[in-house]
Structure 1
Amino acid sequence: MAPAIAPVKTSREFPASTTVVVIGGGIVGLTAALTLVERGIPVVVLEKGRIAAEQSSRNLGWVRKMGRSAPDVPMSVASDRLWAEMPVRLGADVGYKQAGIMYLSRTEAEMEMHRGWLKTVADLGLDSRLLTQKDIDGLVPGGKERWAGGIYTPSDGRAEPTLASSAIAVAAIAKGAVVVENCAVRTLALSAGKVTGVVTERGEIRCDQVLLAGGLWSRRFLGNLGVSLPTLPLICSVIRTAPMEGPTEIAVGGPDFSFRKRQDGGFTITQRGALIAPLSLDHLLLGLKYLPTLKGTRGLLRLNLGRHALRDLALPRRWGKQSVSPFEKVRVMDPPTDARINAEAMRNLTAAWPGFSSAVIEEAWAGMMDITPDSLPVIGPVAKIPGLTVASGFSGHGFGTAPAAGQLAADLVTDGTPIVDPAPYRLERFA
């Protein structure tokens, strides 16, 4: 079951041509479209299912710099500024608040990791700081567990996934963007190897540039064009509680739980130490690229060979312009919630903060993330196909960095001055 998002009245119009087509109606693609239309550039967003129906509305809503690799921090810093400007830019509240984010550690080894990270970002001007047990008790009262320490970034924050993408889409439409739902792009139209348009299930749209922001579907779309985008799926299960009193406005991540206050008064809770890795053919094709990453994820990943693997095998990896594409066969990726993992989350959380024992669970859902080998997204042109730019592989960080990531994608599509250095995000790094 997916969380309900604010409704958006999208277009029934199907234009014959435009300047830029954005494939994917998630938060990054929508932000790119908003940026483009604000610059006077005609843009059409094509979404195979519903706006923000996948990870853009299913994520935790964290907006953080803490824990990001040094090359990725400028993107997060830029996004902080853009999130703060959203209410005026959109004329709508997206629930953004700089309430801080905290990570907790049970062991000195975990604390040493935080100390090491602080050293790597020491010159970047962040307000992150280490915490003692006394600090934790003062910031998040009512806890019972004894911690080795923690790390805290007061300027990190949160926003509401069920509000943000819708508000961005509404603003983009009001400024002239065309957003079409239930319209899958099957492939690109090319002339002499260069993009001239997109071929959809409803016909062709001519355009000068295409931005692929298809989330976990981007790998399959590019594969059909002979381009490799190394991403693998991970599934996170999530809980939403009824409105309740809580210990803090700070979002808190323990080793095996997390919680953050919601605008509706409830909490979003997860088992932070457990993600489902649904095995598929791609694990055989890409596994070696992920070996360095796997060394630091012991106990985090729970392998699953089930419905996802069968569905993945049933979907084609090659198809033509006249063929029904995988994106028409699966309009919305809606992975099953893992009730056992959610139960673990509540047990672990209530052991640490007993006040959550009175929490009433109102909803649960799961979301599927697209993970790259280095956990950084790909944002940049595809050299093999002039006119095609990719913004995918956000590895669970897309919501928080979406304002700057979408703007960077728009900058690159139009040869503008990039909001941040795009070098860390080049597709060629995986060559």
Structure 2
Amino acid sequence: MAPVIVPVQSSLDIPPSTTVVVIGGGIIGLTAALTLVERGISVVILEKGQIAAEQSSRNLGWIRKTGRDQFDLPLSVESDRLWSEMPRRVETDVGYRQAGIMYVARTEVEMAGHETWIKSVGGQSLDSRLLSPANIDQLVPGGSGKWVGGIFTPSDGRAEPTLASSAIAAAAMAKGAVVVENCAVRTLVMSAGRVSGVMTERGEIRCEQVLLAGGMWSRRFLGNLGVSLPTLPLVASVFRTAPMDGPTEIAVGAADFSFRKRHDGGYTITQRGALYTPLMLDHLLIGYRYLPTLMAQWKNLRVSLGRDFLKDMSLGRHWNASARSPLERVRTMDPPVNEALNSDALRNLSKAWPVFNSVVVKQSWAGMIDVTPDSLPVISPVAKVPGLTVASGFSGHGFGTSPAAGQLAADLVTGGAPIVDPAPYRLERL
């Protein structure tokens, strides 16, 4: 069962024209739209299902700089700043708390990775620091884990996925954006060699620019246009507990579990180390590009071949503007929960912090993540399709970096000075 999000009162009508159309009502598309409308640019957000019904409401809610790729770190730093401003910006609580994020290490190899990362970002003015076992016990009391050490960034934080996207959507609408749910974009309309509109299931909307922020659906949409976006699906299973007295407000990650405090007093928990992926046609088409990652992580993979492959094949890869698209046939991707992974996470966590032995599990869910070969997103114009910009492939990092990622996408759409260097996110790198 999917998390329950705050509902959004979207528009029932679609306008005949606008300046920018945003395809996808997840948190990246919403933050981009909010940025655009704040700049006085008219924007329409088109969502094939419900706002934030897929990964934007199903993620862990972590907002972190810790462990980020060096190329991705500036985006994370800017997102920290923008998250801290978000409650004022949208005039409501999005669950943002700057409570810190900690990773704990059981082995010297794990600890060496944290040490290497600290050295690599030494000039970034971060507040990250290495921890001894005694430091861990002080910050997160009541533990029984045998830790070699850890790493802690006090300025990292969290927000609530079930609150944030709805609040951002409401703020964008209050400032003039139009949000339309249950309205899939089938394809682009081109004139004189560039984008001039989108064709939806309810007709055409003329526009000057299009931002594609379709999450895991972006690869299929672009493929229909003859553009390759290499992403593969990864399913994460998560559960939440009833309110409880936990050991800390700090979000904590180990090799085989993570937990973080929720705004309702419970905890969100997952199995960090085990990866689950349903095999699909794309694994055969582009899986070789992921071989370095697969070789390093093969012990942690949980792979299945069955119904998902057949369902994916039945959706089709090519369609025209007059045909019902795969985006209409699956309004919301709702993968089944891997309860074995959730049970494993709780078992591992309870051994490390026994207070979790008595938790009451209130709900579990799963979400599908779109992963690129280098785990960095694509935030980039599409050279082959002038007037089209893409912001997808966030590889599980989209929620935490969404304020700056959405602003960067808006910067590229409008040709403004980018909030960070966009070079690491170019489509051409892939």
Which category of TM-score, normalised to the shorter sequence, fits these structures?
over 0.9
Check conservation: 1:258, 1:272, Cα contact below 8 A.
Answer: yes
Distance, in Å, in 2 between the alignment partners of 1:153 and 1:86 is 20
SS at match of 2:396: coil
Q: CA deviation at 1:419?
A: 0.5
Check conservation: 1:255, 1:273, Cα contact below 8 A.
Answer: yes
Following superposition of structure 1 onto structure 2, how do residues 351-430 of structure 1 map, counting pairs within 5 Å? 351-430=351-430
Following superposition of structure 1 onto structure 2, how do residues 6-405 of structure 1 map, counting pairs within 5 Å? 6-405=6-405
The number of equivalent residue pairs is: 430
Q: Which amino acid aligns with 2:408?
A: L
SS at match of 1:173: helix
Q: CA deviation at 1:79?
A: 0.3
Q: Which amino acid aligns with 1:319?
A: W
Summarize deviations over 1:382-401 as a string: whole Å, max 9, x none: 00000000000000000000
Q: CA deviation at 1:161?
A: 0.1
Distance, in Å, in 2 between the alignment partners of 1:352 and 1:309 is 37
Q: CA deviation at 1:296?
A: 2.9
Q: Which amino acid aligns with 2:73?
A: V
Unaligned runs of 5+ in 2: none
Q: CA deviation at 1:130?
A: 1.1
Distance, in Å, in 2 between the alignment partners of 1:228 and 1:32 is 23
- Percent identity between matched residues is 72
Distance, in Å, in 1 between the alignment partners of 2:193 and 2:356 is 57
Distance, in Å, in 2 between the alignment partners of 1:218 and 1:237 is 22
Distance, in Å, in 1 between the alignment partners of 2:293 and 2:116 is 17
Q: Which amino acid aligns with 2:397?
A: H
Unaligned runs of 5+ in 1: none
Check conservation: 1:372, 1:393, Cα contact below 8 A.
Answer: yes
Distance, in Å, in 1 between the alignment partners of 2:95 and 2:10 is 23
Distance, in Å, in 1 between the alignment partners of 2:401 and 2:134 is 32
Distance, in Å, in 2 between the alignment partners of 1:296 and 1:114 is 17
Q: CA deviation at 1:349?
A: 0.6
Stretch of structure 1 that moved more, 50-59 or 303-312? 303-312
TM norm structure 1? 0.99
Q: CA deviation at 1:289?
A: 1.0
SS at match of 1:296: helix
Q: CA deviation at 1:72?
A: 0.5
Q: CA deviation at 1:293?
A: 2.0
SS at match of 2:72: helix
Distance, in Å, in 1 between the alignment partners of 2:297 and 2:158 is 25
SS at match of 1:299: helix
SS at match of 2:263: coil
Summarize deviations over 1:23-69 as a string: whole Å, max 9, x none: 00000000000000000000000000000000000000000011111
Q: CA deviation at 1:120?
A: 1.7
Distance, in Å, in 2 between the alignment partners of 1:147 and 1:392 is 36
TM norm structure 2? 0.99
SS at match of 2:210: strand
